[in-house]
Structure 1
Amino acid sequence: MIQAIGLTSISRRDLPPAVDDVSFEAHAGHVTALLGGPGAGKSTALRLMLELQPGRGITYFRGRPLHRIAHPSREVGVLLGDVPGHPARTVRGQLRMLCCAAGVPVRRADEVLEVVGLTGLRNERLGTLSRGMDRRLGLACALLADPHTLVLDDPVGGLSAREGRWLHGTLRAHAAQGGTVLFSTGDPKEAARTADHIVTLDKGRLVADQAAADFARTRLRPRVVVRSPHAARLGTLLTKEARTARRSLEVVHEDGNRLSVYGSTCAEVGETAFRHGVLVHQLADEVGDMGPGAGAEAAPLPSSSRPAEPLEADDPAPLPPPVDVRAVPGPLRPVHYEMRRAAGIGTTYLTAALALLSSVLVAVVLARAGHTTVGRLLAAWPQVLPLPPAALGAGLLGAVAFGDEFRHPALAADRGTVPRRLGLLAAKLLVSGAMALLLAVLTVGCAFGFLHVVYGQEVARVPAEWLPLGVSWCGFVVGCAWTGVLAAGIFRSTTAGLAAVLAVPVVVAPLLQKVLKGPPAQTSEGSAAQMPELTLVRLPFGADRYLAAATHVIAQPVGAALALSLIALLCAYLLTTLRGRVR
């Protein structure tokens, strides 16, 4: 069950809080509706419960606050608005990626797709889904980790009547299996028709907490709706006849030519209009809403007193079976998530392809112009460019790795703080580093192959110092990728991550060179020559050669600037992460 106690949002300036001291319960095995009009505070209350917004109060999910639950997605399934996924990702790819994040088998994606009726659309892109299909996908994401509790914000908003009946039927099936369901709505008739218990908010305050049957009896009243060009005259006639017959009748004049008649029937209103020759355009029975305060003092009835309504037409499929998940997640879980995230969109492949193509073209042009060292030729790095295409592409891949988490927050339902977890950072560094290393090797290989085909062995040759050059090149490209990852994670933007990568050779390296006041060639050669002398114990398997090559990288101004930038960004990321946990 859910126990919300004293939920209060933080007010801004002199405005009253959007939610003020709201307390209620939602019991297991029942569907609870959080009812209120626009500005009543429904969405704010849900965000306070899920700890997505700062405020006061606490919410217990089966006796534990959300921040004390090890795996929130396995306890609470959330649907707040549209599905927060990359529009180019497929439906099945989105669910499989979230399976890795939740620590459940990837076959679970196919099970929930069948439940929500999206099996035929599993290869569709998220950006092409209609409103109804997006809601179905959102419900699939909420059900993915087999949670006990479902929390949904206006789940049928913008859906057709048939889609709304299907969604509420699925929620009813989840409650029938012992789960807890809480959803918000602004339609009192929808709440009375689909929920067992209704909590009513008005202007941020709790005004009613009652069973659905009690709510329908005290707040909803039958009425006759009439549209006529002579609405004022018809209203006067109805009131006069009711007064003569000593009947209780209430006529409400609404906008335009519409009347709402309480205490009468369509037959009586129609006969009155016919006798007096009043033209009627519409005559229908409706259920009218008496307002949020109606029935607030009524004694609540047990939720079990209201039986579940039979489903119509589009009955939902049975819910997926429970899944077995490990209590302690393996260390590869975030790595699997990051691999599926990177491989699920075309941006990764397009960026790598453009970087390789640009590197080959630059290498061919440099070879034709001449006067370029073999190392720079194979890396496709002319003197006029601050970064070679491969390093720039690796930096962009790293920036996208964290930038997409904030632009398309697929993990936001899991309390919205998953992108700040150190395990996910390590996974992003590992995967982006592997992609950057592969890109660096492919760049040299493709450049060497094209140069050999176009110019022959005179240009395409292996340099004498291939080891330090290779280590420095791979380390530089991987460092650019890591800089993009850390900067995008700190500033929550892909653009900021790419800007930080460009700032290393353009801003940091010149400043560092001015501070050191030493020529780069002498510093590099001196450090490389002194490494064997500084090593007290000879390392096995020629490891001293690799250590000397790594020192050669850091001794360069750009390499040193990159190393210092990585250290500063990592410290800044750790600081922001720890500060967020303290709050």
Structure 2
Amino acid sequence: MIQAYGLTSDSRKALPPAVDDVSFEAHAGRVTVLLGAPGAGKTTVLRLLLGLQQGRGLACFRGRPLHRVAHPSREVGVLLGDVPGHPARTVRGHLRMLCAAAGVAVRRADEVLEVVGLVGLRDERLGGLSRGMDRRLGLACALLADPHTLVLDEPADGLSGRESRWLHGMLRAHAEQGGTVLTTTADPKEAARVADRVLALEQGRLVADQEAADFARTRLRPRVAVRSPHAVRLAAQLTREARAAQRSVEVVQEDGNRLSVYGSSCADVGETAFRHGILVHQLADETGDMGPRAEPRAVMGKAVENEAVENGAPGDRAPRNTAVADVTAKIAPEDAGEASTESDPATARSLSAESPPAVAPPEHPAPTGPALTGPAPMRPNPTGPDLADRPVGADDPRPESDAEPTAAPPSPRLPAARAPGDLPALPPPLSVRSAPTPLRPLRYEIRRATGISTGFLTGAAVLLVSAVTALVLGGAGHTAQARLLAAWPVQLPLPPAALGAGLLGALAFGDEFRHPALAADRGTVPRRLGVLTAKLLVAAVTAVALAFLTVGCDAEALYLVYGQELARVPADWMSLGASWLGLVVGCAWAGVLAAGVFRSTTAGLAAVLAVPVVVVPVVQKAVESASVRTAAGLSMRLRETLLVQWPFGGERYVDAAARVLGQPVGGAMALSLAALLCAYLLTTLRGRVR
């Protein structure tokens, strides 16, 4: 259950807030739809619910705010916009990475792929998925951790009729298993077909909170769409006959030769045109929206598109007529165009004002209470093994004899009145959830780093540039042996290996902000210390491997070209090796922390370059100034203070670390890492306080 109290977004300058004092409840076992035109504030409401946007108010999921939930991904499955993820990552790899983050077994990825029908595309890259496949993958990501609540922002936007019906069936199946579903849409007809409860938003305010049946009866207004070259003459005849029969019929002339007739039926309009010899090109039942501020009227419960007559164009959009302010014809072209080809049989029926009371079809037992006049029940396509992998857009294999009769009135949509086989299959529930362990973020980070080829290509480029640079320095001569093996010219602030390690470290957090795979957890990138520790550990291991491979490749290249003389190992290789590893690992950590603080890969790499270019000269000038005591003997004083008799010769390693810190570059790197770590912790604590 979702409870929202006084959700209000922060306003900027003199502009009003996008969402102002929105309160509602979304109950378990029901589908709740936020309905509103583009810009009404639907997405802002969801972001305020999830804590992804700053504002005021309180949102509780089963009685607890989301920031107090230990594992948010197991409580709420989220889909906001496109699926967040690196476009070069495969579908299966993306889901397995999220499995590691959520702490579930990797076989869960294959289970949800089978349910959403993406088994055949599991090796497809995220950047190559179509709109429909992206929606299916988004639903798979939302269902991955078996959450109780689904929060989806316009999940059917841009989908065909068949894909939309499948998606709505999945949401209905989740709700009927006791889950909570909150979704948004801009189409009133879609809201009436899918929802149990409809919340209408207008300009950031909640203007209506209705049951689906009441919404369909009071907010959806049926009409007859007529297209004729003699539209003016037909409108006059319809008005004249309505006055003579004392019937309430409203005729609105739209642009061109189109009429919208309210309060009549296709049969009456067709008979009038036939009697007066008026040519008709289109005659069809349609449903429009009266608008959020319209007064309720006694109209039909549901009347959706029927077959058009002859060569009409039922998909044309009817603009608002200034003469009749309370009528807004909002018929999407795809809805009217699919009425005769893809429309579900349960929704392709036309009712008149004199229709008898609703009677449930034989396969849907009638409820014990009075019949409701509301939207017809949606019958999602069953998704078995034969339909899950079938491409979207293929013909429906169900025979026409299985369709419900079009003349039958609708039955109320109640969970108990639906056959179990009508709903798609959901992934099996997670009976045993793995306990949280420190290895969860580590497994996630390993899958994130190895799931794309960026790290491998960067490492290969670093080794190649280092070998070429070492050969050039060896041929030129006058280069110290340590700098020669590290391929570090005096003119460059950092060697290629350090720059590569800093770039890989910056990508560790930079990719999270560009392609936030963990957006469903908490914020764009969760600022948890477990995630930071995993990234620092993986970055350190990568940097150490890159440092060893660089020295090895450079030594081998120098040996092959110049012989043994230039490839020899220096005598003080231990202290030089410690300094080398400290430099490369420090650059990698600086990239990770700077990218996490400034939310950018470029900022992370810039912080790495700023250490030798900016920080080292500042530290040297501060040390050499008269007001600061000289640090020339820092390493010696550290040795005298700290180097007691360590077991197993540990004082040698402490001595090497003291020598590294005593160098200008090492001291500047340690100072930079300390400052970045403090900044990261400060932003983490500030986010938790909010």
TM-score, normalised relative to structure 1: 0.94
Q: Which deviates the most, 51-60 or 73-82?
A: 51-60
| SS of equivalent residue, structure 2 residue 156 | coil
Q: Return 423-432 or 260-269, whichever deviates more.
A: 260-269
Instruction: Give the aligned partner of residue 208 of structure 1.
Output: 208
Deviation sequence 1:386-443 (CA, Å, 0-9, x none): 1111000000000000111111111122231643112111111111011001100110
Aligned-residue offset at 1:93: 1.0
State how many pairs are aligned. Answer: 577
- The offset of 1:70, in angstroms, is 1.1
Q: CA 1:139–1:500 in 2, change beyond 3 Å: closer, same or farther?
A: same
Q: 1:532 to 1:34 in 2, by over 3 A?
A: closer
* 1:343–1:193 Cα change, 3 Å: same
Q: 3-state DSSP class of the match of 2:650? A: helix
Aligned to 1:19: 19
Q: Cα 1:528–1:50, aligned 2, differ >3 Å: closer, same or farther?
A: closer
Contact 2:513 2:524 in 1 (8 A): no
Q: Which deviates the most, 227-236 or 363-372? A: 227-236
* Contact 2:547-2:584 within 8 A present in 1 as well: yes
1:330 has 2:437 as partner: yes
Counterpart for residue 309 of structure 1: 378
Q: Distance in 2 between matches of 1:535 and 1:275?
A: 109
- Report SS of the residue matched to 1:480: helix
Distance apart, 1:555 and its partner CA? 1.7
Q: 2:467 matched to which residue of 1?
A: 360
- 1:152-171 equivalent positions in 2, closer than 5 A: 152-171=152-171
Give the Cα–Cα distance (whole angstroms) in 1 for the partners of residues 519 and 482 of structure 2.
45
Q: What's 1:445 paired with?
A: 552
Residue 308 (structure 1) shift = 5.3
For residues 535 and 208 of structure 1, what CA distance do their matches in structure 2 show? 72
Q: Which moved more, 1:490-499 or 1:547-556?
A: 547-556
The one-letter code sitting in structure 2 at the alignment partner of 1:413 is A
Tell me the secondary structure at the aligned position of residue 560 of structure 1.
helix
The structural deviation recorded for 1:508 is: 1.0
Q: Quick one: distance in 1 between partners of 2:668 and 2:265?
A: 83
Cα deviation digits, residues 301-330 of structure 1 (max 9, x gap): 999978953223667752111225557510
On the 8 A contact 2:509/2:592 being kept in 1, the answer is yes
Residue of structure 2 equivalent to 1:431:
538
Q: Deviations over 1:86-125 (max 9, x none)?
A: 1111111111111111111111111111111111111111
State how far apart, in whole Å, the 1-side matches of 2:383 and 2:505 are: 45
Query: 1: CA distance between counterparts of 2:29 and 2:679?
Result: 46
Instruction: Give the deviation of 1:274 after TM superposition.
Output: 3.6
Counterpart check, 1:400 vs 2:473: no
Q: Which amino acid aligns with 2:156?
A: V
CA deviation profile, 1:165-194 (whole Å, cap 9, x unmatched): 110011111111111111111111111111
Indicate the residue corresponding to 1:319 in structure 2.
Answer: 426
Contact 1:528 1:549 (8 Å CA) reproduced: no
Which runs of 5 or more residues in structure 1 are unaligned?
Answer: none
Change (3 A) 1:304 1:3: farther
The answer on 1:374 being equivalent to 2:481 is: yes
- What is the root-mean-square deviation of aligned Cα atoms in Å? 2.4
- Match of 1:134? 134
Distance change in 2, residues 1:208/1:103 (3 Å)? same
Asked if 1 retains the 8 angstrom alpha-carbon contact of 2:623 and 2:631, the reply is no
Change (3 A) 1:295 1:137: farther
Following TM superposition, by how much is the alpha carbon of 1:297 offset from its aligned partner in structure 2, in angstroms? 11
- Whether contact under 8 Å (1:11, 1:18) holds in the other structure is yes
Query: What does 1:459-470 correspond to in 2, within 5 Å?
Result: 459-470=566-577
1:491–1:497 CA contact under 8 A, matched in 2: yes
Judge which range, 525-534 or 161-170, deviates more: 525-534
Shift of 1:480: 0.2
Query: Distance in 1 between the 2:179 and 2:440 partners?
Result: 27
Letter in 1 for 2:479: T
When structure 1 is superposed on structure 2, of 16-25 and 172-181 the one drifting more is 16-25
In 1: Cα distance, 2:468 partner to 2:295 partner: 76
Q: Which is worse superposed, 112-121 or 62-71?
A: 62-71
- Compare the two structures and name the one with the higher helix fraction: 1
Q: Which residue of 2 aligns with 1:576?
A: 683
**Aligned pair in 2 of structure 1 residues 59, 563: CA closer, same or farther (>3 Å)?**
same
CA distance in 1, matches of 2:103, 2:296: 44
2:606 alignment partner in structure 1: 499
Aligned pairs for 1:480-559 within 5 A = 480-517=587-624, 533-559=640-666
SS in 1 for 2:470: helix
Query: What corresponds to 1:115 in structure 2?
Result: 115
d(CA) in 2 for partners of 1:498, 1:110:
37
Separation in 2 of the partners of 1:395 and 1:498? 6
Do residues 150 (structure 1) and 150 (structure 2) align?
yes
Structure 2 residue identity aligned to 1:380? A
Post-superposition offset of 1:531 = 5.7
8 A Cα contact 1:225 1:261, kept in partner: yes
Match of 1:474, as an amino acid? L
Matched with 1:286 is 286
- Please give the residue correspondences for 1:22-41 in structure 2 after superposition, counting only pairs within 5 Å: 22-41=22-41
CA contact (8 A) 2:516 2:524 kept: no
Do the aligned residues in 2 keep the contact of 1:196 with 1:303 (CA within 8 Å)?
Answer: no
Which residue number corresponds to residue 64 of structure 1?
64
| 1: CA distance, partners of 2:371 / 2:534 | 48
Same amino acid, percent of matched pairs: 73
What secondary structure sits across from 1:419 in the alignment? coil
Quote the Cα distance in structure 2 between the aligned partners of 1:532 and 1:311: 75
Residues 385-394 or 236-245, more deviating: 236-245
Preserved contact between residue 18 and residue 44 of structure 2 (Cα < 8 Å): yes
Runs of 4+ in 1 over 6 A off after TM superposition: 295-298, 301-307
Closer, same or farther: CA 170–206 of 1 in aligned 2, 3 Å: same
Q: CA deviation at 1:247?
A: 1.8
Instruction: Tell me if structure 1 keeps the 8 A contact 2:273–2:280.
Output: yes
- Structure 2 counterpart of 1:94: 94
> Hey, what does 1:173 align to over in structure 2?
173
Match of 2:210, as an amino acid? Answer: Q
Match of 2:566, SS?
A: coil
Give, in whole Å, the separation in 1 of the partners of 2:441 and 2:378: 42
Partner SS for 1:464: coil
1:208–1:297: 8 Å Cα contact kept in structure 2? no
Paired residue secondary structure (1:33) = strand
Q: Which residue of 1 aligns with 2:81?
A: 81
Aligned CA distance change for structure 1 residues 151 and 304 (closer, same or farther; 3 Å): farther
Distance change in 2, residues 1:343/1:242 (3 Å): same
What is the rounded CA distance, in whole Å, between the counterparts of 2:632 and 2:545 in structure 1?
28
